[in-house]
Chain A
Amino acid sequence: MSTSIVSSLLRPAPLFSIAAILRLVLLLYGTWQDAHSAVKYTDIDYLVFTDAARYVSNGLSPYSRETYRYTPLLAWMLVPTAKPHLFSFGKVVFALADLLAGWLIVRVLRKQRGMTAERAGAFAAIWLWNPMVATISTRGSSEGLLGVLTMALLWAVEGKRIGVAGFILGLSVHFKIYPFIYAPAIIWWMDDEHLGKVVSKSPVSFADAVIKLLSPQRIKLTLISLSTFMGLNVLMYYIYGTPFLTHSYLHHVTRIDHRHNFSPYNIFLYLASADPSSSSLHAFLPQLLLSCLFIPFVIAKKDLATSMMAQTFAFVTFNKVCTSQYFLWYMIFLPLYLPGSSMLRVPSRGITALLLWVLGQAAWLQQGYELEFLGVSTFFPGMWLASLAFFLINCWILGIIISDGAERSIQKVHVM
């Protein structure tokens, strides 16, 4: 009885209505809290975006706003928020982006994975009904936009819409850099098998292999994504000049990342930043090897979605900065990874993973609270150990995702 009620809620109309109502309620509540309380619901970043949008609507550069470190596209998109009564416009856009990402999830699960509507709805609900996702977007954080972009990328690739995929890839890298990690996975995935062509026999010589790799579709994707990315960059550079490059890109290379965050490198970087002679660029190496090379090589052809999930998870886990908003980057892939994963097949594993993930954050947050609010110097050893523990927990979870991704096709064989 109760299961049938739940499953009826997972049909598309109620699924999306509930997701929309959840966001609407949060949006209205946030507006009320902002108007009546000195403690704001709206995220500080949203004030940065809307200030930048105001500058843009006055014909100025969005980079006139300190700490605006995004593409001007975001400020352009939010220009309506310059009008006081449309202040929440951006939050509505972000919430709609959430819903669109959810719709794409359902579509990929149904058309490309052949799931029933209810089953697809149940997995999509992990994103659509997720209070963390809904809160982040209604508070006005733009991370939800990345969700829709990466899901659209997967949808376009798996649907073999190469032109669209190239455009989305170029756009998302322009938007937030990190989606470049998906490029090798997609390129690798785009073999004859996946593109539904007659599979020619295995190449015999190295030259054959190279020629096979340089298929017209791969070249098309590369050219379209590169030209979208560079086209947008040239356009923005033409309009806004050096500040665009400095704030959107160079800032991420040169920033010293000393303020406390979840990253395992954090305390190390704080110590290093106080010593001008040191360099910490080598921290990029394990991160890039895993997320751009090893993971896509082993998993992309077996399950592109799981590969993208694992790549993002590795990128965030090994990143020099890590805040909870970054977790959204991989959460979007959960509905695609979880079906058939060992996390669900062996519930104790899934529950342990979730609990450890939450506990790792809780331990760190407790140290962070003592530092930030009580002024206790918890940097060492408390916060440092907490960040390393959280890192190792994440590595363990990443190991599970990778094993699942590598076994995925084997299982299907057994199912047959």
Chain B
Amino acid sequence: MRERITYFSPQDADLDPNQLEINDVKVQGPAVEAVREHKITLTLPELPSEIAGLLRDLDQLQLRWATTASYNTLEPFISRISPGLHVSYTPIKEDHDPWDREKLCTALQAFGRLDCSSPDVFINLSNERQAGSPALFFYNELEKLDGFAKRLGPVVCSGPTAAECRKQLQELKDAVSLDMSYDSTSEAVKIQALWPLQKREISVPASPKGRTEVGILRIGDAPGMEAHEVGVSGVLAVIGETKTPSPTMFAFAARHRAATGTFTSKFQQPTGLHPTLQLSLSTTAPPVDDDAECAPYAYFTFPKVIFADRYQLADELFLASKNLAAAKYVSEPVDLEAPAYTTKEWGSNVLLELAPPKDKAAAKNWTVEVPLHLRYLKPSPTGKEEAGIPFPAVFWACNGEQDVGYAINPFDRINLGYDGLFEPGTTFWHVSPRPAADGRLINNISVPVVKEGASQWVAVGTAVAVGLGFLWVLLKLMGGYAKSGHGTVKAAEDKDKKEK
């Protein structure tokens, strides 16, 4: 087990390394404006046996969670995904035993009640993606990690350090992002949690079982650094090994960068059954040299209640009228008619290329409209059902060299859903989301449904109306039959013949 805790501050942050107190059990320091990342690397034998057993059947597994709350962060911790829990995996065997999925689903219940038990709830991702991308994907909304931290405590915290372990788990309550990934090549599980940019005290206890590396860093120019790189400087320490912090300075090419500007996401009112999601962007193209081709994109994670119609998004004139350039990817399958309660898949992913205004000056503020459709939901007592649609990830994607050494970046993040749809050397310049009035990165929408109380009225009323209508028609038929029977009258036939 290895732990790495990084405090990352803005360039102007003021921190004197001499103020750090480093001893055998902890690193302590004054409060500083910083993002905090906690990375834990575990090997399979270090995991509880059921979890290790589950992972052995998988080629790779990624669990990613992002908070619904709005938060501030810094490069290189800038990459975004839609708020909620994203699960992707590849089984070792092509025709994997459904038992694996059931075991995985059971394990996932640690996060809360997740609706993953139906066989087709995971969607297939294998087409159109980079090699090495996961095969199956599932998403579930998940507001907080509180329940997860609570349920995990008894499983992972034991022995004399149990109290400290639980305290650390409790800190997950304030985390804004959590990644857990496993791959069969390294047989290692990596857990990365991120806390947002704010004034925070530096305090790192030694890992109870392994090595603990602490980095107190800030953005800064490193010598020999290239224009497209992110430079970092600061101090590093390993608890129990170093008594004084050792200065460091390095630079790396980052896959995920911060674009200027923000975006907002809201539903155009009234929403009806075919709502339009409006994304308003205040961003210009990222600061890259002219030969890099950049285009803005939005990557959506739509729970099954809402979907985009790939066929509607195929017409160029229609797309242009919405300031969209193209629907680059729509996950499959997306049933265009079924109600939510018979739809097995969790929902769908959509990657849209946005069309910024041609006039660069007008590009300061622009809006795109995403035409969507609601599925019918089950009856409710009020005739309304509330649904939360997570904000998309909005970014400029710029072409880059195929062999950029992104993997050198100690804070790199891959398999976020959208990155596999681009060439390997692509740089993603993320536009920060600006939340709605409630501070959440969720668009609420009210879906009209039939009122539950209608049920008895409708059953009786429909039967009565159909019965009456049927009887009326029957009476008319009987009246006709009484007058003229079921046959023809001879005279009519004669007339027909004469006419010929």
Q: Which residues of A contact B (CB under 8 A)?
A: 34-38, 40, 44, 47-48, 51, 66-67, 111-114, 193-194, 256, 258-259, 264-265, 267-268, 270-271, 273-274, 286, 290, 294-295, 297-299, 301-302, 314, 317-318, 371-381, 384, 388, 391-392, 394-396, 398-399, 402-403, 405-410, 412-413, 415-416
B residues in contact with A297, CB < 8 Å: 486
Q: How far is the CA of A361 from the CA of B140 in the complex (A)?
A: 41
Q: How far is the CA of A348 from the CA of B68 in the complex (A)?
A: 64
Q: Check: B410 CB closer than 8 A to any chain A CB.
A: no
Known A271-B459, A273-B342, A398-B476; 6 more pairs at CB < 8 Å: A38-B322, A286-B470, A294-B477, A384-B458, A399-B475, A406-B481
Give the nearest-CB partner of B267 in chain A.
Answer: A375
Contact of B457 among A44, A194, A381 (CB under 8 A): A381
Q: Check: B362 CB closer than 8 A to any chain A CB.
A: no
Q: A114-B500, A294-B474, A410-B489 are in contact. Are A274 and B483 (CB under 8 A)?
A: no
Give the nearest-CB partner of A383 in chain B.
Answer: B450
Give the nearest-CB partner of B377 in chain A.
Answer: A274
B residues in contact with A415, CB < 8 Å: 495
Please state if B466 and A377 are interface contacts (CB–CB under 8 Å). Answer: no
Q: Which of B172-180, B198-206, B333-341 contacts A (4 or more CB under 8 A)?
A: B333-341
Q: Check: B331 CB closer than 8 A to any chain A CB.
A: no
Q: Check: B448 CB closer than 8 A to any chain A CB.
A: yes
Please state if A381 and B342 are interface contacts (CB–CB under 8 Å). Answer: no
Range of interface residues on B (Cβ < 8 Å): 35 or more
Shortest Cβ distance from A382 into chain B, in angstroms? 11
Please state if A380 and B454 are interface contacts (CB–CB under 8 Å). Answer: yes
Please state if A380 and B484 are interface contacts (CB–CB under 8 Å). Answer: no
Q: A271-B454, A374-B272, A384-B458 are in contact. Are A406 and B483 (CB under 8 A)?
A: yes
At the interface, is chain A mostly helix, strand, loop or mixed? helix
Give the nearest-CB partner of B314 in chain A.
Answer: A47
Contact with A along B145-181 (1 / 0, CB 8 A): 0000000000000000000000000000000000000
Q: How far is the CA of A388 from the CA of B304 in the complex (A)?
A: 31
Q: How far is the CA of A410 from the CA of B447 in the complex (A)?
A: 56
Q: How far is the CA of A384 from the CA of B383 in the complex (A)?
A: 14
Q: Which residues of B contact A (CB under 8 A)?
A: 270-274, 311, 315, 317-318, 320-322, 333, 335-337, 339, 341-342, 376, 378-379, 383-384, 446-451, 454-455, 457-459, 461-462, 465-466, 468-470, 472-477, 479-481, 483-484, 486-496, 499-500
Contact of B449 among A302, A377, A394, A395 (CB under 8 A): A377
Give the nearest-CB partner of B316 in chain A.
Answer: A38
B residues in contact with A295, CB < 8 Å: 477
Q: A384-B458, A403-B480 are in contact. Are A38 and B321 (CB under 8 A)?
A: yes
Q: A375-B272, A402-B480 are in contact. Are A416 and B495 (CB under 8 A)?
A: yes
Give the nearest-CB partner of B385 in chain A.
Answer: A377
B residues in contact with A392, CB < 8 Å: 465, 468-469
Please state if A258 and B476 are interface contacts (CB–CB under 8 Å). Answer: no
Please state if A271 and B499 are interface contacts (CB–CB under 8 Å). Answer: no
Q: How far is the CA of A407 from the CA of B482 in the complex (A)?
A: 11
B residues in contact with A380, CB < 8 Å: 383, 450-451, 454, 457-458
Please state if B336 and A407 are interface contacts (CB–CB under 8 Å). Answer: no
Q: In this complex, which of A374, A403, A406 has the most chain B Cβ atoms within 10 angstroms of its Cβ?
A: A406
Please state if A286 and B466 are interface contacts (CB–CB under 8 Å). Answer: yes
Q: How far is the CA of A392 from the CA of B461 in the complex (A)?
A: 12
Please state if A298 and B272 are interface contacts (CB–CB under 8 Å). Answer: no
Give the nearest-CB partner of A294 in chain B.
Answer: B477
Contact of B480 among A268, A299, A317, A374 (CB under 8 A): A299
Please state if B458 and A399 are interface contacts (CB–CB under 8 Å). Answer: no
Please state if B479 and A403 are interface contacts (CB–CB under 8 Å). Answer: yes
Shortest Cβ distance from A139 into chain B, in angstroms? 15
Please state if A314 and B473 are interface contacts (CB–CB under 8 Å). Answer: yes
Contact of A47 among B311, B321, B378, B458 (CB under 8 A): B311
B residues in contact with A290, CB < 8 Å: 470, 473-474
B residues in contact with A37, CB < 8 Å: 317
Shortest Cβ distance from A76 into chain B, in angstroms? 21
Please state if B480 and A395 are interface contacts (CB–CB under 8 Å). Answer: no
Q: A402-B480, A407-B480, A415-B495 are in contact. Are A271 and B458 (CB under 8 A)?
A: yes
B residues in contact with A318, CB < 8 Å: 466, 469-470
Q: How far is the CA of A36 from the CA of B476 in the complex (A)?
A: 52
Please state if B473 and A402 are interface contacts (CB–CB under 8 Å). Answer: yes
Q: How far is the CA of A66 from the CA of B97 in the complex (A)?
A: 29
Q: How far is the CA of A187 from the CA of B476 in the complex (A)?
A: 23
B residues in contact with A193, CB < 8 Å: 488, 490, 493
Please state if A379 and B311 are interface contacts (CB–CB under 8 Å). Answer: no
Closest 4 CB pairs of A and B: A406-B480, A114-B499, A38-B321, A377-B383
B residues in contact with A258, CB < 8 Å: 339, 376
Shortest Cβ distance from B190 into chain A, in angstroms? 39
Please state if B489 and A403 are interface contacts (CB–CB under 8 Å). Answer: no
Contact of B451 among A256, A294, A377, A396 (CB under 8 A): A377
Q: How far is the CA of A405 from the CA of B481 in the complex (A)?
A: 11
Contact of B492 among A40, A388, A402, A413 (CB under 8 A): A413
Shortest Cβ distance from B117 into chain A, in angstroms? 16
Please state if A264 and B465 are interface contacts (CB–CB under 8 Å). Answer: yes
Shortest Cβ distance from B373 into chain A, in angstroms? 11
B residues in contact with A294, CB < 8 Å: 474, 477
Please state if B480 and A371 are interface contacts (CB–CB under 8 Å). Answer: no
26 contacts between A and B (CB under 8 A): A37-B317, A38-B315, A38-B321, A38-B322, A67-B337, A112-B496, A114-B496, A258-B376, A274-B378, A286-B466, A294-B477, A301-B488, A302-B484, A372-B273, A373-B272, A373-B273, A376-B448, A384-B461, A391-B469, A403-B476, A406-B476, A406-B483, A409-B488, A409-B492, A412-B489, A413-B492
Shortest Cβ distance from A404 into chain B, in angstroms? 9
Q: A318-B466, A377-B448, A391-B469 are in contact. Are A298 and B341 (CB under 8 A)?
A: no
B residues in contact with A391, CB < 8 Å: 465-466, 469
Q: In this complex, which of B469, B472, B481 has the most chain A Cβ atoms within 10 angstroms of its Cβ?
A: B469
Shortest Cβ distance from B180 into chain A, in angstroms? 35
Please state if A194 and B488 are interface contacts (CB–CB under 8 Å). Answer: yes
Q: How far is the CA of A38 from the CA of B312 in the complex (A)?
A: 11
Please state if A298 and B473 are interface contacts (CB–CB under 8 Å). Answer: no
Please state if B473 and A399 are interface contacts (CB–CB under 8 Å). Answer: yes
Please state if B462 and A265 are interface contacts (CB–CB under 8 Å). Answer: yes
Q: How far is the CA of A239 from the CA of B440 in the complex (A)?
A: 53
Please state if B476 and A259 are interface contacts (CB–CB under 8 Å). Answer: no
Please state if A267 and B472 are interface contacts (CB–CB under 8 Å). Answer: no
Shortest Cβ distance from B386 into chain A, in angstroms? 12
Contact of B458 among A36, A66, A267, A371 (CB under 8 A): A267
Contact of B317 among A38, A114, A265, A271 (CB under 8 A): A38
Q: How far is the CA of A402 from the CA of B480 in the complex (A)?
A: 7
Please state if B472 and A396 are interface contacts (CB–CB under 8 Å). Answer: yes
Q: How far is the CA of A286 from the CA of B464 in the complex (A)?
A: 13
A residues in contact with B337, CB < 8 Å: 67, 259
B residues in contact with A40, CB < 8 Å: 315, 318
Shortest Cβ distance from B395 into chain A, in angstroms? 26
Contact of A398 among B455, B473, B491 (CB under 8 A): B473
